[in-house]
Amino acid sequence: MLCRPVRLFDKSELQQFNFDDTKLEYKFLHDRVQQAAYSLISDEQKQATHRQIGQLLLNNTPTEQLLDNIFDIVNQLNLGIPAQKPGFSEKPGFFKQEELAQLNLIAGRKAKASAAYEPAVKYLRIAMELLTNNSWYTQYELTLNLHKERAEVELINYT
């Protein structure tokens, strides 16, 4: 935890103003202050926080708006991937690797459709890193689509 929130008012004073302290936000006046605060957080806590943010975004995004918000969701979830990827989805609170690979495929396709080839390659590479050794047997269609999309985007991005 970075620091404890400072209470300027007690609960009774906040209720007097109909203030809901569960929706408390922090804003930083300058990017450098935000970066300094972020650098004080451990890598594990950063990953857990990004994972929670991504999961909240995904859970609270209506299906019809998923494509509009796919980059925000996937970027947060990707930042929540532990450095030791193998088997991370088996731990409680972790997103399933196959589901995250599928979301990265969607993000990669959207980036490709927008001619944003470098981000498309990034999403597709991450998705392929999330595949297991037996994904050709367990997730054939996903694995095939990832290889096909990545080959196309790598070729376009290379030329």
> Per residue in 107-117, pLDDT tens?
999 999 999 99
Question: What's the CA gap between 63 and 68, in Å, rounded?
Answer: 10
* pTM, to two decimals: 0.76
72-to-56, 63, 90, 105, 123 alpha-carbon distances in Å: 11, 15, 24, 14, 12
Domain boundaries, the chain: 47-158
Mean pLDDT on 10-24 = 60
- Model pLDDT for residues 46-87, shown as the tens digit of each residue: 999 999 999 999 999 999 999 999 999 999 999 998 865 555
Tokens of 62: 């209506």
Q: Tell the residue number behind the tokens 């990827």, with chain if given.
A: 85
Buried/exposed 121-158: b ≥16 CB within 10 Å, e otherwise: bbbbbbbbebbbeebeeebeebbebbeebbeebeeeee
